[in-house]
Amino acid sequence: MKVVLTGGGSAGHVTPNIAIAEQLRDRGDEVSYIGSRHSMEATLVRDAGLPLTQIASGKLRRYFDWQNFTDPFRILLGILQALVALRRLRPDVIFSKGGFVAVPVVVAAWIVRIPVIVHESDVTPGLANRLCFPLAARICINFEATRGTIPQRFLQAGRVSHTGTPLRKALRDASADRGRRLLKLNDDSVKPLLLIFGGSLGAERINALVFEVIDQLLERWTVVHVVGQKDFSCAPKAENYFVYDYVGDAFGDLLAAADLVVSRAGANALYELLAFKKPHLLIPLGAKASRGDQIENANLFREQGWSDVLFEQDASPSEMIRAINELWAMRAQRIQNLARVEVGDGTGAVIKLIDEVASKKV
């Protein structure tokens, strides 16, 4: 079987696709990737050994920007480039993880009648996926709550499936012992481990807060901080403060070793936190810098009793310390709540759908 994967803009759109590719190739399927010219995306795809076709893409903004006048032409160019790529690759099915690069690919697939599966990670779908839904054979969702945001005609047609997020083998096989060895933490008396990350591109606001309170944190914690490339050189130096710009396959080991986590509220990160049952504090990206999807994700998780939340507009050095200390005091309750959450095999569920759609059993 031939499968084309698409999606990009951040690692959150790419790494689930790589998880799918790992399993498909293990059983002998032919897998290719169509993505944007984003440098991190290209690096991740090529490092995974996937043939990559890069196309033009444009963002559909709901606010004034001079690029609004040029991006429609980039989208049209992307559709033409995707058509050429699909004629060459001749896939049986396409799996789209979202992001605006996926729109030209999904439109091109609809034109040449190649079935598409679209995956939505967030509680409420983004604009790119909403544009793709009418052209998709099946729609995968991360959370059951998302059903309430999907148009009824898709639900009634049986086109929506709750699959969860595909997790890479490195995450599924993660080891806390390996994580501690990576950090050279072999002493049982070492302080508890606090993992802080803001997604693949980092989080400037979270980084700034951590830099300001790192001395206070280190009084109680060993801190692992994934800062992203932009802030990597700005991080202070201190004993038991481990700073990374980006962590690849070893991230699962660090997450397994962590006693507490501070994170943005991106959907993939949340799914990983559920899978690892880690008590966590969410600092969602604010509405001014996004469409508010992380706030919606965080509110859902807080309502379920799975997450503590500190909203960005309320985040200050003292509030961060307070929120971390309160979560640590409540960690037993949070772990108990997380233990009741069933996290299925997202990778297996998506591949089952790929097989069904490719064989026209939909």
Residue 325: give its domain's CATH number.
3.40.50.2000
Residues 352 and 328 in one domain: no
pLDDT, mean of residues 107-129: 94
Residue 267: pLDDT band (50, 70, 90) is confident
Do 51 and 174 share a domain, yes or no?
A: no
Question: Which element (helix H / strand E) includes 331?
Answer: helix 331-339
- The reply to whether 224 and 248 lie within a common domain is yes
Domains contained in the chain, number: 2
Q: What is the pLDDT of residues 309-340, one digit of tens each?
A: 999 889 999 999 999 999 999 999 999 999 99
The two most distant CA atoms of the chain are separated, in Å, by: 62
Tell whether 237 and 282 lie within a shared domain.
yes
Task: Grade residue 97 by pLDDT with cuts at 50, 70 and 90.
Answer: very high
Task: Tell me if 164 sits within 8 A of 271, measured CB to CB.
Answer: yes
Q: Which domain does 254 fall in, by range?
A: 170-339
259 shares a domain with 131: no
Task: Based on the fold, state whether residues 111 and 176 are members of the same structural domain.
Answer: no
Are 335 and 250 members of one domain? yes
Above 90 in pLDDT, residue 30? yes
The rounded distance, in Å, linking the Cα atoms of 184 and 193 is 12
- If asked whether residues 322 and 351 sit together in one domain, one would say no
User: Residue 256 in contact with residue 195, Cβ under 8 Å?
Assistant: no
Q: What would the two tokens of residue 230 be?
A: 């932009």
pLDDT band at 66 (very low <50, low <70, confident <90, very high): low
Same domain, 9 and 156: yes
Kindly report the backbone phi and psi dihedral angles of residue 206, in degrees, each rounded to the nearest multiple of 5, phi listed first.
-65, -45
What is the average per-residue pLDDT within 17-27?
Answer: 95
pLDDT tens column, 272-304: 999 999 999 999 987 665 677 899 999 999 999
Rg of the chain on CA atoms, in Å: 21
CB atoms near residue 219 (< 10 Å): 7
Together in a domain, 234 and 280? yes
182 and 157 in one domain?
A: no
Residue 130 pLDDT exceeds 70: yes
Tens of pLDDT, residue by residue over 214-246, are 999 999 999 999 998 788 888 899 999 999 988
The SS3 assignment for 239 reads coil
Instruction: Pick the closest to residue 115 from 135, 88, 100, 141 (CA basis).
Output: 135
DSSP 292: S
- Please indicate, yes or no, whether residues 186 and 65 belong to a single structural domain of this protein: no
